[in-house]
Amino acid sequence: MKKNRILNLFACALLAAPAALAQTGGTQPVYLDDTQPLEARVEDALSRMTVEEKVRLSYAQSKFSSPGCPRLGIPELYHSDGPHGVRAEVDWNKWNYAGWNNDSCTAFPALSCLAATWNPRLAARYGQAIGQEARYREKDILLGPGVNIYRTPLGGRNFEYMGEDPYLTSALCVPYIRGVQQNGVAACVKHFALNNQEQWRDYIDVYLSDRALHEIYLPAFKAAVEQGGTWSIMGAYNKIRGTHASHNDMLLNKILKGDWHFDGCVVSDWGATHDTYEAAMNGLDIEMGTYTNGLSSESEFGYDDYYLGKAYLQMIREGRIPEEVVDEKAARVLRLIFRTAMNRQKPYGSMTTEEHYKTAYDIATEGTVLLKNRKGKNREALLPLRKEAYRRVLVVGDNATRNLLSGGGSSELKPKDYFTPLESLRAIWDDAAYEPGYVPNESLYAPQAGTPHTAADSLREEAVAKAAGADLVIFIGGLNKDYRQDCEGTDRVSYNLPYGQDDLIRALAQANKNLVVVLLDGNAVAMPWLDEVPALVQSWYLGTMTGPALADLLTGKANPSGKLPFSFPARLEDCPAHHFGTISYPGDGTRQEYKEDILVGYRWYDTKGIEPLFPFGYGLSYTTFEYGDPEISATRMAEGDSLCVSVSVRNSGSLPGKETVQLYVGDEECSLLRPKKELKGFRKIALAPGEEKTVTFTLKADALKFFDDRKQDWVAEPGKFKAYIGASSADLRGEVTFTYE
């Protein structure tokens, strides 16, 4: 690919030379001189372009590229799906994979796993590593990270996002974006905005309050722009208040480019553009994938037939589109090209290095969450497993051997290596037996005939029979990335585990008390068997290093330190999106109303007094941590002031471990409904046995504010507030009170 692109750039330079030299008296054009300020280069290039050339910047030339200006030597932009790895090459004008043998990648854990690390340093390493791989593959735009809020456990793309809390998502997406862009590769933050489900995603019309929009669904995008400095944003498929998100005036012109001063490009999701005038006037800069479904369907039309193609040019010629709109759009694309494709300071990049595999491993181990670890008759917890304690080991479950990087839609990856859990466990117990126990009966994007009951029963019976004679059973199941599981374009149809896994787990628990259940997925699931299972590990799609990470976690070589980035409801109807009926989720087929308003996730469970199955921020360790009483530096504060909340934490166990200390703030007196508490800080610390550290959080007035629809502004009202220190949203270890004046 590098050779092809170099030849293409050389051809562009030859085409550019006569025109460029004629206009500059034989000197180098300013726009190619990267010692000049970026905006000077943009204005210089813009001044040389015809209206046709400006228009041509704004729509695709292939499935995953958009053009530059060959006459002036300005190269095209190459896009690549992310955000968990650089996708394999597809054909120029088809969805088929190109069949290259040099487009493998490191598969990093899904962003749900990154969120569960609660570790911004790992987020920075993630961004740096995936940015290096994108740069090596000559990609200019990486389509990620995804920062949409987790609203329902049925959401098909929840595994691509970072949970239910806007503060946590913001804190992790910013270093990821910065890491990617250090490589001269643009992050493309998606999907802006309110793409919180896959069912009817192309046309569902979302209605919600301004409070919910600004407090819950926009903060991570705002942080990506104002703190992360992202160079591009991807518009979503869905409508918002009657207009598609990819050309929505409120969203793109007023909020993104107006209030937030975003100077980058808005790129449509593939097939998310629907109107020429709206796309031109309402803030879309690059149109991709039109007349396709963004996954598999093909267009009968050429690229010039895109909404920002011939029709856009005709409107300009008729005077319906002002010249300043055309120039502003073209300038944004040029700015992006100069930051990426024409950035001569960017590094070379690297692929599938030992360092990248180490980054993937560290994210996998720090993101995996220990949900349960019950003590047995010997008064010891089942985990971590000791090799010498178990001779006959049985591994059960399809996910122990399945390649969980295929399927799922645009995040599908072609890894150079994929180490399965079974092969890594057999590196410890070389004679470990294996039984699938169940077989999935769906495939990507289409329902398939189910596994016959007799065959399914036989698989379950064989696994249970062998479990009865084993010393240890490790079940590795969960979801996968097939149709109606964790998959783009579809939502789940049930909160329960698919393929009869609930019955299988119950039967295994009855057959053998030494049962470890490991779930690999990107969503919360129902657990009707929870009381019968002694040890439960919530893992995710861990990428290349799935097997080594899980083996090390189960045997204690690594100590679990993940915390849940979203709540697990005990019942689906307890979830706020489902509580208000179908108009709230999934909608009536046309319209949807977010009736839970600002009470998303733990905000709902806390405020309504509903106990979840597992709370937001929850996660156990193989060691234990003791918290001291929190202390506050002042009991009063005003606008412009700050105060500190401090707490000491000690590792009171016998193993080194990491704990995430969480700070929540609650408003005791408010003129509008507010959640009982909201996350406003967290810190992950490593502690040796017996070691103690003090964690200090600084609170400013912004942390106390809510969005007042009546004033259309952020407000902190005078009154009493509480700061809570917790090990999760439900496990509070102390609180302090202060007054805002």
Q: Which residues are catalytic?
A: 269
Q: CA end-to-end span of the chain, whole Å?
A: 61
Contact 735/722 with Cβ under 8 angstroms? yes
Q: What is the DSSP string of 391-410?
A: SSEEEE-GGGT--TTS-SST
Contact 168/660 with Cβ under 8 angstroms? no
Contact 668/704 with Cβ under 8 angstroms? no
Query: How big is the CA angle at 666 (ends 581 and 525), to the nearest 5 degrees?
Result: 40
Residue among 226, 158, 229 nearest 187 (CA): 229
Helix, strand and coil content of the chain, in percent to the nearest 5, comes to 30, 20, 45
Distance in angstroms (rounded) separating the CA atoms of residues 675 and 664 = 11
Residue among 321, 327, 346 nearest 45 (CA): 327
712 Cα distance to chain centroid: 29
- Those residues whose C-beta lies under 8 Å from the C-beta of residue 438, and which sit 6 or more positions away, are 397, 398, 451, 456, 459, 460, 477, 499, 500, 501, 504
DSSP state letter for 362: H
For 238-288, the three-class secondary structure string (H helix, E strand, C coil) is: CEECCEEHHHCHHHHHHHHHHHCCCCCEEEECCCCCCCHHHHHHCCCCEEC
- Sort 549 into a burial class: Cβ within 10 Å, 0-12 / 13-18 / 19+: buried
Distance in angstroms (rounded) separating the CA atoms of residues 440 and 451 = 8
Distance in angstroms (rounded) separating the CA atoms of residues 428 and 399 = 18
Distance in angstroms (rounded) separating the CA atoms of residues 299 and 477 = 38
Phi, psi of 719 (to 5 degrees): 150, -170
Rounded alpha-carbon distances, angstroms, from residue 332 to 43, 78, 145, 315, 516? 11, 16, 20, 20, 53
Q: What is the DSSP string of 428-454?
A: TSTT-EEE------EETTEE-PPPPHH
The CB-side HSE value for 571 (13 A sphere, CA atoms) comes to 4
Distance in angstroms (rounded) separating the CA atoms of residues 664 and 724 = 5
Distance in angstroms (rounded) separating the CA atoms of residues 346 and 528 = 52
Name the 3-class secondary structure at 365. helix
Phi, psi of 548 (to 5 degrees): -60, -40
